[in-house]
Amino acid sequence: MAPENSEKSKADGEAIDHQSPYYIHASDYPKQLHVNDVLRDNNYNDWAQEMTNFLFAKNKIGFVDGSIKKPKSNSTLCMPWMRADAMIKGWLTTTMENDIRNSVKCNNTACEIWTNLQERFGKKSAPRAYELKQSLTVTQQDGTSVTAYFTKLKGLWDEIESVLPPLISLVMVVCAEYPTPNLNVAFHLVYEDEQQRQITIPRKPSKEAAAFQASFP
């Protein structure tokens, strides 16, 4: 049964059952921080996974995935929905860097913020996969335990699998999948291209390295 139908018998001001997604615990407040690291432009996958786990535990995941729609204005659940959504928006924006927070401040609902971020940062990224593979090739045990070394390698492999897209060119994506991309999609495509350029630009050798190479023809 949908949340709205299951709660219709509750009058305004009456206590909401603690199992309802509209329920807000007395200890909850908007500025709580619920992830280990704030959202930056290079850690979306980890951030989204942690935030999803937290929202699921709080029975609030439906507010960000769109499955819990805003009730009609004459519904007794409209105000509880708005309070819960405002709380979730606070949870999300508190865990972002200032620039990202400012970019979503005009979004009206938690679902809009979540979708905005997913469109910009959540796409599978070939440059990121390449960067992870490079990290994998240079990762060494360096005196750590086998368990710690294995955990680090597995973390890299898991992230590679999560971001590695099908072999498809950027031009094909723009022309076929997104004939008229919105601003968030356009940002992601430009950002991905920028990341690819940064990875592939060869670094200039240091003076010491040049001198070393010159001494050994």
Q: What is the pLDDT of residues 57-103, one digit of tens each?
A: 999 999 999 999 999 999 999 999 999 999 999 999 999 999 999 99
Q: Tell me what pLDDT residue 210 has.
A: 45
Mean pLDDT, to the nearest integer, of 105-116? 94
List, in order, residues 6 or more apart from 31 with CB less than 8 Å away: 90, 94
Q: Tell me what pLDDT residue 110 has.
A: 96
| Backbone phi, psi, residue 39, to 5° | -70, 125
Q: Which of 47-51, 78-82, 197-201 has the lowest mean pLDDT?
A: 197-201
Q: Tell me what pLDDT residue 153 has.
A: 79
Q: Tell me what pLDDT residue 136 has.
A: 75
Q: Tell me what pLDDT residue 111 has.
A: 96
pLDDT at residue 204 is higher than 80:
no
More confident residue, 32 or 178: 32
pLDDT in tens, 118-176: 888 876 556 666 677 777 778 887 888 878 877 877 877 777 666 665 434 444 444 45
What is the rounded CA–CA span in Å between residue 79 and residue 63?
14
Contact, 132 vs 160, CB < 8 A? yes
Q: Report the percent of the chain where pLDDT is more than 70.
A: 62
Q: Which of 63-67, 135-139, 193-197, 203-207 has the lowest mean pLDDT?
A: 203-207
Q: Tell me what pLDDT residue 7 has.
A: 44
> What is the identity of the amino acid at 35?
V
The SS3 assignment for 142 reads coil
> Residues 38, 44, 46, 50: is their CA dihedral positive or negative?
positive
Contact, 69 vs 126, CB < 8 A? no
What is the rounded CA–CA span in Å between residue 113 and residue 150?
36
Mean pLDDT, to the nearest integer, of 95-114? 94
Q: Tell me what pLDDT residue 12 has.
A: 42
More confident residue, 69 or 35: 69
> What is the identity of the amino acid at 213?
Q
List, in order, residues 6 or more apart from 83 with CB less than 8 Å away: 22, 24
What is the rounded CA–CA span in Å between residue 41 and residue 194?
12
More confident residue, 23 or 141: 23
List, in order, residues 6 or more apart from 187 with CB less than 8 Å away: 120
Mean pLDDT of the chain: 75
What is the rounded CA–CA span in Å between residue 112 and residue 65?
9
Q: Does this model's pTM top 0.85?
A: no
Q: How far is CA 171 from CA 126, 160, 166, 168, 179, in A?
A: 14, 23, 14, 8, 11
Strand-pair partners of 39: 96
Q: Tell me what pLDDT residue 181 has.
A: 57
